[in-house]
Amino acid sequence: MGIPLKRGRDVAPGDTKESQQVAVIDEAMAQTYWPKEDPLGKRFRRSPRSQQWITVVGIAGSVRHSGLSADFRPQIYEPPAQIPDPLMPNQLMVVVRTSGDPRSIANAARAAVHEVDRNQPVTNVRTLEKLVDDSVANRRFSLLLLGLFALLALVLSAVGIYGLTAYSVVQRTRELGLRIALGAKPEGVLGLVLGEAGKLTGVGVVLGLVLAFVFNKVMASLVYGVASTDPLTFVGVALGLLAIALLAAYFPGRRATKVDPIVALRSE
């Protein structure tokens, strides 16, 4: 399953009922019970009433069993031969590692189990990818809705900036015509229009970043593997919004550079 062995050794076929009781623990258990000690070689019992001492022979990486957002819980890995019969679960989960499509060997896996016990039922065969997908289905749906609303807000913002800039250009037709008549270059007029749109967008981006930092705890429950205050994400989104806003203002700005000074000065 790709769970790394950090230190020590793994359980082995030689760990039988007659040999020393051993186990591999994960880092969560090591930090819980031996935070400032070396857990290798330490011994523990399954319960206060148990007479069997189990020796730690290895330390494995911690695993989130209940979901990607769940906390790490202390785990113990024991050789099946050393687990007492009363503690063996009624249902076992077998994990098969494959080099190709795991669904293609489902029948072969069932046949292998039935060779050991023909009456043993094999149910709920799933890939690990499917297992993970099911565990994040609700979160993925929430993020999908959030993404659609964010896209709609982005489109409305771009349309609003375009309309506001176009209206501003129309209102300032005489001013822009006078600037051109006095020798202003087209790129200068375009820069003037884009600069004003950029200032307006900059204020909105700054306010948005402040609100994002305030409400980042809400987003922290929806994302995994990325910090809710990831600087790369914040910078990338801010630059992206600024670029889209300038693009929306570019087309009215281009029209402003084509204002005929004579027509502009004669109007009204």
235's CB contacts (< 8 A; 6+ apart) are none
pLDDT tier, 26 (very low <50, low <70, confident <90, very high otherwise)? very high
- pLDDT confidence band for 150 (50 / 70 / 90): confident
Coil vs helix vs strand at 12:
coil
In this predicted structure, what is the pLDDT of residue 187?
81
Q: Specify the amino acid at residue 73.
A: R
Domain ranges of the chain: 5-131, 137-266
CB 53 within 8 A of CB 2: no
The overall average pLDDT reported for the chain is 83
How wide is the angle at C-alpha 241 spanned by C-alphas 235 and 242, nearest 5°? Answer: 90
* pLDDT of 267 strictly over 60: no
187 or 149: which carries more pLDDT confidence? 149
| Residue 29 pLDDT > 90 | yes
* 25 DSSP β-pair partners: 59, 76
Digit-coded pLDDT (tens) for 67-79? 777 788 899 999 9
Q: Tell me what pLDDT residue 224 has.
A: 62
8 A C-beta contact, residue 22 and residue 76: no
* The model's pTM: 0.57
Cα torsion 212, 216, 218, 224: sign: positive
Least confident of 82-91, 159-168, 242-251, 253-262: 253-262
Write phi, then psi, for 62 (nearest 5 degrees).
-75, 150
Q: How confident is the model at residue 56 (pLDDT cuts 50, 70, 90)?
A: very high
Position 122, amino acid: V
Residue 116 pLDDT > 80, yes or no? yes
